[in-house]
Structure 1
Amino acid sequence: MARWRGWLTPLALVMAVAEVLLILLGTRTGFPRLLVWGPAVAGVASTVWAFRVASRRTAGELRTFWARLSVALGAILIAAISQIADLVTMPFTGMPPIGARTLLLYVIGTVLAIAGLLRLPGGGSSWRQLTTAVLDVAVVAVTLGIAASEYVGWYMNRFGVSTSAWWLNIAVMAIAGAGATVVVKIMAARRSPVPRAALWWLAPIGLAGPLSTVLMTLLKPWPHLNGSAAVLPFVGLFGVLAARAQQRHLAGAQETPLPAEDLPDHRRSTAIPLVATGLTSLLVATVFLRTGHLSTVQVAGTTLLLLLVVARQAVALAENGRLLRTVARQTAHDELTGLFSRRHFTTAVARAGGTNTVVLLDLREFRAVNDGLGSAVGDAVLIAYANRLCLVFGDRAVIARLGGDEFGLLLPESVDVAERLAAAGAEPLRAAGHDVLMEVSVGVASGADDLYRQAEIALREAASGAGARVVRYDASLEQRLTQRATIAADLRRGLTAGEFHLLYQPIVELPHGRTVAVESLIRWSKDGRTISPAEFIPVAEDTGLIVELGAWIIDTVCAQAAAWSRRHGCDALRSIAVNVSARQLLDPGLVDVVAGAIARHGIPAARLTVEITETAVFAGGRALATVNALSALGVTIALDDFGTGHSSLGLLRICPVDAIKVDKSFVDGLGGGPQQEAIVIALTGIAETLGLYTVAEGVETAAQARRLHELGYRYAQGFHFARPLPPAAIDDLLDQQVTTAA
């Protein structure tokens, strides 16, 4: 790949400055007429080289664009060399000699440049955009025609109608057309692969032809000077600056990929007609003030220009109207599902007043599905559920996706919400080849003025419980919401003030009941009373404080484990368990928290047992990855409440489990007959086959303990053995066990 030459820009600038100095010097003293052509040829040659470098550093349509321009400027360079030959071989007759061959080369180079510019993609796809582009070109063409009518008259007065003069006139008009083409391309392009700065640097090159003719007249008293030589170094300078703009754009794209540049719609819709009519008005006014009349071409051209501008603006207004309608529709609708958007829904609810029903729905466990099966399946679930809602509620409802996995319904009060929602959730959703049955939390509010807020309160209450729930708003929910907000504020204060403490419930070995492990349980004492975990744990989950609270629990458990090891020996307790919630498993810092606590207090990793629920990890994703990382640390993993979750047996294959804790609901069925005991028997068999140990939870009677032992269980916990105890009571229990053993 060609590398940008840093010396190209300084060289082109030096050639342009040198040419200006030579022209100024030439008006005071004479020198060889070929001297002014040195900077001219060097300047154009630097542009050809710069365009070749730009071509080699790009690809696709950009490579083709810069390659075409390098060929076009190559023809201009040959034309300049040919003009030097004309100066040497042709007689001087007042106007600097320029042959037909030279003029033809200038025209060829200009036509090649125009062709390259016209083939540059400019974006735009609708018929209105294409029509606007055509009208833009027509507006510029008429403007140039009016200007050309005045220019031709001036040109004839200066140079007559000789063959050379006509060839020169054609070359000048072609070069001017190239400049106009660049300007039209810049203003009309909807999207350009070429940096806009590069196009603007190319635009002044189109002035080279007319300016050279003007300079040829002004420099006539000094035959050693030449108008063409005076402008060519600036052709080189602007060309090099255009290639440099392309190079800088490429350098920026290597750091941050840059899309093709967009030109704002309002500039495209106003710049061309404003510039064209402004320039034409100035030209016509100048001609009229100078001569007192206008030519037929100028009057007809001005009239045609006005008609084209009116037509162009009418098409632009129609296109803008279509764009506004498209934007309005996109604002009112959700892009993924096609349902109404949150903004449209809230506006509809506000207009409806209190005679309707607002229903807010949240798909429970959607994040688990999205993480476990992928975002494509997650999107398919949202689309499928949106279609289900439309099918069940029909045209009478305003149905919206409010964001994420939340939906909203605005219904007449007469609609039976519960019955229809039951129908919407009765069958699994078919999504990207998967059958997914989603539980839904629903908040309903009706017959009031502040329906949306009330439905949000009801939805929050529904989402705080387990399973699919439909909650209707009533005044008590406001009180509960205030209470939860108070608890959330007190939670943070209580954590700082040290109001939390841990109790430990023994896990015993059957049949003799010796304590071999303990499970830690959080308690909160505030203002002389103990607040139940059932009250504050859900609030901690909702607010995210569970992460900070969980880190404190883990550190305290590890510290207590180290203390018991020092006092009673390393073998006194097999493990100390700590419960970890689904929210904690999604925290990327949990593994570091556990590793830090183990290292800080110097306990074996296997002595810490992390208890997780099946629901927290059944869909895999980040939660399962966290469990795998904890297992890799050597921490013991236990599945709590086993048998009550989504896919208990399947989890034993994918989750690094060391122990299962059989839920109390199965233990309660012991002694009730073979059918009620079947699951308890099956679970211990599965665990033994997989090399896991089982703990039976919620043992409350001696009969349950005896039966569990008969069925093969070796570990159990429950009120029959001990209630949760403070650390000092566990110390006494361990001391007593040592004394009894002795």
Structure 2
Amino acid sequence: MARTAPPPRWRPWFTPVAVLLAVVEVALIALGPHLGFHRLLVWIPAVGGVGLAVTAFAATAGGATGPLRLFWRRVAVAMGAVLVGAVSQTVDVALIPFDGMPPLGSRTLLCYVVGTLLAIVAMLRLPGGGRTWRQLTTAVLDLAVVGVTAGVAASEYLGWAVDRFGGRASAWWLNLAMVAIGVAGVTVVVKIMSASRSPAARTALWWLAPIGIAGPMSVILMTLLLPWPHLNGSAAVLAFVGLFGVLAARAQQRVYAGHGAPSSRVAHPAVYRRGAVVPLVATGLTSLLVGTVYLRTGHLTTVQVAGTTLLLLLVVTRQAFALAENATLLETVAHQAMHDELTGLYSRRSFTTAVAGAEGPHTVALLDLKDFRSINDSLGPVAGDALLTEYAARVTRIAGERAVVARLGGDEFGLLLPGTPDETAVTVDRLMAAGDEPLCAAGHEVVVEVSIGLADGADLYRRAEIALREAGSHTDARVVRWDVSLQRQITQRATIAADLRRALTAGEFHMLYQPVVALPHGLMTGVEALIRWTRADGRVISPAAFVPVAEETGLIVELGEWIIDTVCAQAAEWRHRHGPDALDSVAVNVSARQLLDPGLPEMVAAALARHGLPAEQLTVEITETAVFGGGRALASVQALADLGVHIALDDFGTGHSSLGLLRTCPVDVIKVDKSFVDGLNGTPQQEAIAGAIADIADKMGLATVAEGVERPEQARRLFELGYRRAQGFLFARPMSAAAIDELLDPGIGIAA
């Protein structure tokens, strides 16, 4: 089976060579009246330029697909016919003696005309995209304007040609061929003006347009160059035909490089605006042509007068439609600026304006869809968009006609509800109740939970945003209404945020360590490091108060670095003092924000090396939620595991897709959440879950630690279910490093 040859590739030297050939041609034509050389010399850059354009078109077609590939293939074939015509004309010049007008045989004219017709077919078959009826009408008027302008110019050209060559049949065939080539140029311009969307680059089409004047220009140059038989007008223009062709191909290649999708349809949003310039240019050129003719002859022909009059009427009509279309476009733009494109609801700008201008009692409700990102990732963006659209329809239906409903961005919606807080509470209750009903999203039944922030009175939007953030940060509070106590909490968090950096610099943080023991004998095998903050005035700040603030402000990264360095130093000291086997591991918690820091693995490696602590004696505890989305966080965990650090999944069973994480995340230890421990000795179902976790971990070769053990019967039952490590107040509360030192003495255990 024969192998198909690979498509020609675009070469960077195409453009400079085409420019060089055109420059050489200009130099030969300019020096020809002063220097004598062989008559075929001017044809070398001419034929070379056209041949280079054929190669460039073929290379461009080879890099495209679909309608775009067909277009460039057709243009390459059309230019190939022109190349054959150029070679044929070169042969005529070389073999046929002539005195005066250079020979231009019927074979050569046929090749040029065939090439022109093929180019016109290629342009007409290029998809152009749809438009509104006004835009279509405007495009038709544009076509008429260009057609009338071309007709006036063609009549003047034919008049000049008849005066110059007389009525000979060969002269008429020549001029008809040249007019056909000019029509090709007009077709390109028309296609550019009428296409709102096209697979071909707009700049490439504009580079093809000047090729249409090559025919008439060649005839004009032929007459000017008659005194010098070794010069030729066709050769002069053919070099530029090749140059413009290469530049058109280069413009298309730049679109390939910029978008990486050569088969995609390229939108031209500025088509209408740019197309408006063409009728004005056409009118200006026609006026210049008619004025020149009148100054030269003292009169105008009927065609010129009628054409100019018709042209002016067309331009006036066209501009009237353009003004009407502009008004429609302005209305569309104004609507788009005030409405969300996907759902049709009001936009954030409209919503804030409505809130600012609201009179009388109103309530602002801000809604955020929980876990929308995971739904969008798992079901795909099409389903995500469908879900937003369906939820927008639900909210609009429940809110009623008097409410202002907006999509504020992403998965956040806003409602401006008229009425007192008691009246609007009914609508909020209906929104919450509707959350239990599934929504259809691209064939999927999806139940979505929402967080709602409410505010009434003054400063509605800002207060509702505060309430929404508070609702989103607590799993047990789906609706939060702004009040003075909430403002106090915000102020308190702001105060903590301001004190955090000062506290870190002043050394107000210290570490406590809670033992992890082996069941059933209660010997300590490891510890978990826990941070504490005692201010200079003796007031203790709970980790539940300052850790979330540290994460919000980003200070958790700097604080976490201090924690890891302190823990590594302490673990190395215990190792040196009590031996390498005194503790299996020292665990330290790492937050989701820290995992997003690309420098975390390097920082941990540096701390281990600085204090001489083996990596396997450090355990990093992460939550399921922190790595559920994968990406940067999961990459950080993998990098830590590659260092040899153990990875523990904390609060197991309370986050997202726990069993799936055991396959994708490099976990060594599962820390079973206290809620499962509390359920022991209760219903059989609760114990079955705890036992299943231990069984799964055992089969996967993972260690398990039961957290929150507070009663002896819990410890005994955990051991029966297969747990060999436990942690909780039954064994020890968090204690200082010095207290851990005492427990590390040989023979000392913690009674269970």
Partner of 1:58: 60
> What is the one-letter code of the residue matched to 1:52?
V
Q: Secondary structure at the match of 1:284?
A: helix
> What is the one-letter code of the residue matched to 1:460?
R
Q: Secondary structure at the match of 1:357?
A: strand
- Say if 2:562 is the partner of 1:552: yes
Match for 1:80 among 80, 83, 89?
89
Q: Does structure 1 conserve the Cα–Cα contact (< 8 Å) formed by 2:210 and 2:244?
A: no
In the TM superposition, what is the alpha-carbon distance from 1:600 to its structure 2 partner? 4.3
Match for 1:310 among 307, 316, 320?
316
Change (3 A) 1:86 1:726: same
- Say if 2:150 is the partner of 1:144: yes
In the TM superposition, what is the alpha-carbon distance from 1:152 to its structure 2 partner? 3.9
Q: Secondary structure at the match of 1:352?
A: coil
Query: Could you tell me how far apart the structure 1 residues matched to 2:628 and 2:108 are?
Result: 81
Q: Secondary structure at the match of 1:38?
A: coil
Query: Could you tell me how far apart the structure 1 residues matched to 2:192 and 2:446 are?
Result: 52
Deviations 1:8-50 (A, max 9, x none): 543443233112211345xxxxx6xxx6742443233113311
- Say if 2:77 is the partner of 1:68: yes
Query: Could you tell me how far apart the structure 2 residues matched to 1:438 and 1:661 are?
Result: 29
Query: Could you tell me how far apart the structure 2 residues matched to 1:363 and 1:160 are?
Result: 82
Partner of 2:484: 475
Q: Secondary structure at the match of 1:527?
A: coil
Change (3 A) 1:11 1:394: same
Unaligned runs of 5+ in 1: 26-30
- Say if 2:246 is the partner of 1:243: yes
Q: Does structure 1 conserve the Cα–Cα contact (< 8 Å) formed by 2:364 and 2:417?
A: yes
Q: Secondary structure at the match of 1:524?
A: strand
Deviations 1:392-415 (A, max 9, x none): 334443332222332222222233
Partner of 1:46: 48
* Count of equivalent residues: 723
> What is the one-letter code of the residue matched to 1:451?
L
Partner of 2:589: 579
Partner of 2:139: 133
Partner of 1:287: 293
> What is the one-letter code of the residue matched to 2:694?
A
Q: Secondary structure at the match of 1:408?
A: strand
Partner of 1:683: 690
Query: Could you tell me how far apart the structure 1 residues matched to 2:156 and 2:679 are?
Result: 106
> What is the one-letter code of the residue matched to 1:74?
L
Q: Secondary structure at the match of 1:675?
A: coil
Identical counterparts, % of pairs = 60
> What is the one-letter code of the residue matched to 1:517?
G
- Say if 2:177 is the partner of 1:174: no
Deviations 1:78-117 (A, max 9, x none): 55247537952x7x5x766666666555544544444444
Query: Could you tell me how far apart the structure 2 residues matched to 1:263 and 1:643 are?
Result: 52
Q: Does structure 2 conserve the Cα–Cα contact (< 8 Å) formed by 1:96 and 1:223?
A: no
Q: Does structure 1 conserve the Cα–Cα contact (< 8 Å) formed by 2:40 and 2:94?
A: no
Query: Could you tell me how far apart the structure 2 residues matched to 1:355 and 1:20 are?
Result: 84
Query: Could you tell me how far apart the structure 1 residues matched to 2:357 and 2:343 are?
Result: 24
In the TM superposition, what is the alpha-carbon distance from 1:718 to its structure 2 partner? 3.7
Partner of 2:437: 427
In the TM superposition, what is the alpha-carbon distance from 1:62 to its structure 2 partner? 4.2
Q: Does structure 2 conserve the Cα–Cα contact (< 8 Å) formed by 1:681 and 1:711?
A: no
In the TM superposition, what is the alpha-carbon distance from 1:360 to its structure 2 partner? 0.8
Query: Could you tell me how far apart the structure 2 residues matched to 1:419 and 1:740 are?
Result: 52
The worse-fitting range, judged by mean Cα deviation, of 378-387 and 493-502 is 378-387
Change (3 A) 1:243 1:69: farther
- Say if 2:619 is the partner of 1:609: yes
Deviations 1:280-334 (A, max 9, x none): 2222333344444433322221221122223333343444444444444443443
Q: Does structure 1 conserve the Cα–Cα contact (< 8 Å) formed by 2:516 and 2:525?
A: yes
- Say if 2:469 is the partner of 1:463: no
- Say if 2:408 is the partner of 1:402: yes
Partner of 1:28: none
Query: Could you tell me how far apart the structure 2 residues matched to 1:705 and 1:112 are?
Result: 88
Unaligned runs of 5+ in 2: 1-6, 62-68
TM-score by length of 2: 0.83
Change (3 A) 1:594 1:424: farther
Match for 1:386 among 392, 407, 410?
392
- Say if 2:159 is the partner of 1:159: no
Q: Does structure 1 conserve the Cα–Cα contact (< 8 Å) formed by 2:219 and 2:234?
A: no
User: Pairwise mapping of residues 89-488 of structure 1 onto structure 2 (< 5 A)?
Assistant: 106-191=112-197, 193-194=199-200, 198-218=204-224, 222=227, 224=229, 229-247=232-250, 249-250=252-253, 253-254=256-257, 257=260, 260=266, 262=268, 264-265=270-271, 267-353=273-359, 355-370=361-376, 378-413=384-419, 414-415=423-424, 416-431=426-441, 436-448=446-458, 450-488=459-497
Match for 1:505 among 511, 514, 539?
514
Partner of 1:733: 743
Partner of 2:28: 18
Change (3 A) 1:13 1:650: closer
> What is the one-letter code of the residue matched to 1:523?
R
Query: Could you tell me how far apart the structure 2 residues matched to 1:566 and 1:363 are?
Result: 52
Q: Secondary structure at the match of 1:58?
A: helix
Deviations 1:657-699 (A, max 9, x none): 55554555566677xxx53697358625752674266545445
RMSD of Structure 2 on Structure 1 (CA): 4.0
Partner of 1:564: 574
Query: Could you tell me how far apart the structure 2 residues matched to 1:20 and 1:246 are?
Result: 28
Query: Could you tell me how far apart the structure 1 residues matched to 2:251 and 2:271 are?
Result: 25
Change (3 A) 1:73 1:274: same
Query: Could you tell me how far apart the structure 1 residues matched to 2:732 and 2:221 are?
Result: 108
Query: Could you tell me how far apart the structure 2 residues matched to 1:473 and 1:395 are?
Result: 25
Query: Could you tell me how far apart the structure 1 residues matched to 2:364 and 2:289 are?
Result: 65
Q: Does structure 2 conserve the Cα–Cα contact (< 8 Å) formed by 1:441 and 1:469?
A: yes
Query: Could you tell me how far apart the structure 1 residues matched to 2:380 and 2:106 are?
Result: 70
Query: Could you tell me how far apart the structure 2 residues matched to 1:166 and 1:302 are?
Result: 25
Partner of 2:64: none
> What is the one-letter code of the residue matched to 1:48?
V
> What is the one-letter code of the residue matched to 1:45?
V
Query: Could you tell me how far apart the structure 2 residues matched to 1:402 and 1:144 are?
Result: 52
Determine which structure has more spread, i.e. the larger CA radius of gyration. Answer: 1
> What is the one-letter code of the residue matched to 2:555?
L
Query: Could you tell me how far apart the structure 2 residues matched to 1:136 and 1:428 are?
Result: 53
Query: Could you tell me how far apart the structure 2 residues matched to 1:531 and 1:565 are?
Result: 31
Query: Could you tell me how far apart the structure 2 residues matched to 1:453 and 1:510 are?
Result: 53
> What is the one-letter code of the residue matched to 2:50?
V
Query: Could you tell me how far apart the structure 2 residues matched to 1:43 and 1:682 are?
Result: 84
Query: Could you tell me how far apart the structure 2 residues matched to 1:8 and 1:304 are?
Result: 41
Partner of 1:490: 499
The worse-fitting range, judged by mean Cα deviation, of 644-653 and 589-598 is 644-653
Query: Could you tell me how far apart the structure 2 residues matched to 1:375 and 1:323 are?
Result: 29
TM-score by length of 1: 0.84
Q: Secondary structure at the match of 2:173?
A: helix
Q: Secondary structure at the match of 2:50?
A: helix
Q: Secondary structure at the match of 2:682?
A: helix
In the TM superposition, what is the alpha-carbon distance from 1:192 to its structure 2 partner? 5.3
Query: Could you tell me how far apart the structure 1 residues matched to 2:655 and 2:90 are?
Result: 87
Change (3 A) 1:732 1:241: same
Deviations 1:113-170 (A, max 9, x none): 4444444444454444444333222212211222334444444444333334433432
